[in-house]
Amino acid sequence: MCCLTGQAALRNLRLSSRQKKDPKMGQAAFHAPHGGSVFLGIRKNRAGATEIVYDDGVARRLIWRVTEAIADEGRLSDALSRAVRQTRVLPALYSELKKRAIAVEAVIR
């Protein structure tokens, strides 16, 4: 296995923090670019409601339901993308959701 340095490492970092999206399913996944195992994702539940999933890769998995219908999921994707790039993901997620006036309720704590 080869170590990446310089431009190749930077390109890999950008690619890993980009959104992976399946347009048919309404899903998006974001992984922390700073080497952590933090995961943030968007999914649709069985009833069709949008949910946000957080997993720290060790002990915590949290799920929130978006309480309002979002016509443009781009706002939500942008909020998750920005939050996952921060060192403290949960406070950043709450801040990004508040900035965009996206209301959520906890499903699993």
Q: Has residue 1 been placed in a domain?
A: no
Q: How confident is the model at residue 108 (pLDDT cuts 50, 70, 90)?
A: confident
**Residue the block writes with tokens 């499903």:** 107
- In a 3-state reduction of DSSP, which class is residue 20? strand
- Amino acid identity of residue 24, one-letter, is K
98 CB-side CA count, 13 A: 6
Domain containing 75 equals 6-108
Q: How many domains does the chain have?
A: 1
> What pLDDT score does 71 carry?
66
Q: Has residue 54 been placed in a domain?
A: yes
How far apart (Å, rounded) are the C-alpha atoms in residues 7 and 89?
A: 26
Is the per-residue pLDDT at 20 higher than 60?
Answer: no
What is the tens place of the pLDDT at every residue in 83-99? 999 989 999 999 999 99
Q: Has residue 91 been placed in a domain?
A: yes
Residue of 1, 37, 90 lying closest to 29 (CA atoms): 37
pLDDT above 90: percentage of residues in the chain: 45
